[in-house]
Amino acid sequence: MHIDPSARFATRAIHAGQSPDPATGAICTPIYQTSTFVQASPGKIIGEYDYSRAANPTRTALEANLASLEGGRHGLAFSSGVAATGAVIHLLKAGDHVLLCDDVYGGTNRIFHRVFQQLGIEITLVDMTDHDATRAAMRPETKLVWIETPTNPMLKIVDIAVLAEIAKSAGAMVAVDNTFASPYLQNPLRLGTDIVCHSMTKYLGGHSDAIGGALIVNDDDIHKRLKFIQLSEGAVPGIQECFLFLRSTKTLHVRMDRHCENAAKVARFLEAHKKVEKVLYPGLESHPQHAIARKQMRGFGGMITIYLKGGLAESRAMLETVRIFALAESLGGVESLIEHPAIMTHASVPADQRAKLGIADNLVRLSVGIEDVDDLIADLERAIG
């Protein structure tokens, strides 16, 4: 079965990259749990495969599915989101300069600064909602602009099209970490960028049961270079994980609709609550980049960050009182999670940078799941007191 690339999202989510197994008619792509493939004669492979680090049919189906969801030509699957990030950075060489969004995922900050900086990659952190500051930070050696939007945990929205233009006019590649939005809500390749990166662990997987990463690109040359890095470094996902992600993307649109609907209701409840100082959610009119979110996203996602009135004591009380929201790192699964960025997800970000970004003791991050929203609101009501 060949899915027309012009088919709508839900149809592509379920069918792209997959066709019934020719041998048995199985509607689901089998788990080709094999490391190697028998050859007809030396060097003459039977089908398209010789060794599963290079390629495996289950992974190929997943990679084609991911490419279709982002509206890109090529998909590449990795063993984790940070492995996918590392592959992009390996396109660079010593002396190259990177412009990095100031409020990126903690692990992204860590791999840039603590793994690649010592190999000679130069990095400048910049608030990418400030376009003048971004333009001013570009250098002749800037080869990569790394965007994350919505950002984590401040949920700032970066104008992808404007950033793509700033980078392009300086000859730099642009990569967007699209994990928080998922391909259902935002497609950066269509806004002029070169590489989309995902932690599949989050919304693409959606069930908190597998770790994986992905890159999606249009350009054949960038794809060839990244595929070479994927093969050479070997950070590929296991075959069972590929099957799990392939199953999960079939319901991405349904899950995301409910994440968005629930989060919007929770955000409005929290915004009206007297013990909440401030709510950061791109779907609220009070969000500083609400207009940009409207322009580049189809919905506002399931992530909410709040400032409680008070300090660490109030945050702790809330985190220890919730019953449905689980106290855990990560996000994007069907179950609601709550966490304290300063102590948990962003502990690896240096304290001065945390302070500059606003990651304070009264900051709490919610990943709103797809449980009944009235139960979620009741849980928060009881916990905030």
Ligand X SMILES: *Cc1c(COP(=O)(O)O)cnc(C)c1O
Q: Which residues are known to be catalytic?
A: 53, 105, 177, 202
82 counts as binding ligand X under rule CB under 6 A = yes
Nearest of 126, 103, 128, 177 to residue 358 by alpha carbon: 103
Nearer to ligand X, 102 or 177 (CB): 177
Helix axes 239-249, 57-70, angle to 10 degrees: 30
- Binding track, positions 182-211, relative to ligand X; x by CB under 6 A: -----------------x-xx--------x
Q: Distances from the Cα of 330 to the Cαs of 33, 369, 370, 373, in angstroms?
A: 28, 12, 15, 20
Question: Which among 3-11, 77-85, 226-234, 288-296 is the span making contact with ligand X, rule CB under 6 A?
Answer: 77-85
Contacts of ligand X in 91-110 (CB under 6 A): 105, 107-108
Q: Which residue is nearest to ligand X (CB)?
A: 81
Task: Tell me which stretch binds ligand X (CB under 6 A): 126-134, 174-182, 218-226, 268-276.
Answer: 174-182
C-beta closer to ligand X: residue 211 or 357: 211
Q: In the complex with ligand X, which residue's Cβ is closer, 129 or 179?
A: 179
Among 29, 80, 109, 362, binds ligand X (CB under 6 A): 80
Please, what is the minimum distance in Å from the beta carbon of residue 197 to ligand X? 7
For the segment 287-316, give every residue that binds ligand X (CB under 6 A).
none
Site residue total, ligand X (CB under 6 A) = 16
Which one of the spans 176-184, 218-226, 293-301, 336-344 is the region binding ligand X (CB under 6 A)? 176-184
Nearer to ligand X by Cβ, of 187 and 201: the residue is 201
- Binders of ligand X among 105-134, rule CB under 6 A? 105, 107-108
With CB under 6 A as the contact rule, the residue among 17, 57, 72, 81 that binds ligand X is: 81
Annotate the chain with three-state secondary structure: CCCCCCCCHHHHHHHCCCCCCCCCCCCCCCCCCCCECCEEECCEECCCCCECCCCCHHHHHHHHHHHHHHCCCEEEEECCHHHHHHHHHCCCCCCCEEEEECCCCHHHHHHHHHHHHHHCCEEEEECCCCHHHHHHHCCCCEEEEEEECCCCCCCCCCCHHHHHHHHHHCCCEEEEECCCCHHHHCCHHHHCCCEEEEECCCCCCCCCCCCCEEEEECCHHHHHHHHHHHHHHCCCCCHHHHHHHHHHHCCHHHHHHHHHHHHHHHHHHHHCCCCEEEEECCCCCCCCCHHHHHHHCCCCCCEEEEEECCCHHHHHHHHHHCCCCEECCCCCCCCCEEECCCCCCCCCCCHHHHHHHCCCCCEEEEECCCCCHHHHHHHHHHHHC
Least distance CB 317 / ligand X (angstroms): 26
Is residue 248 a contact residue for ligand X (CB under 6 A)?
no
φ/ψ (deg, to 5) at 14: -85, -30
For ligand X, give the closer residue by CB, 108 or 187. Answer: 108
Q: Which is nearer to ligand X, 105 or 112 (CB)?
A: 105
Site stretch for ligand X (CB under 6 A), options 80-88, 93-101, 269-277, 293-301: 80-88
**Is the Cβ of residue 148 or residue 194 nearer to ligand X in the bound state?**
148
Q: Return the residue of 72, 153, 206, 213 that touches ligand X, per CB under 6 A.
A: 213
Asked if residue 65 binds ligand X (CB under 6 A), the reply is: no
Rounded distance between C-alpha atoms, residue 130 and residue 133, angstroms: 5
Residues 148-167 that bind ligand X (CB under 6 A): 148, 152
Nearest approach, Cβ of 18 to ligand X (angstroms)? 23
Q: Which residues partner with 290 through β-bridges?
A: none
Tokens at 206, concatenated = 């959606």
Rounded least distance, CB 357 to ligand X, Å: 15
Site of interaction with ligand X (CB under 6 A): 80-82, 105, 107-108, 148, 152, 177, 179-180, 199, 201-202, 211, 213
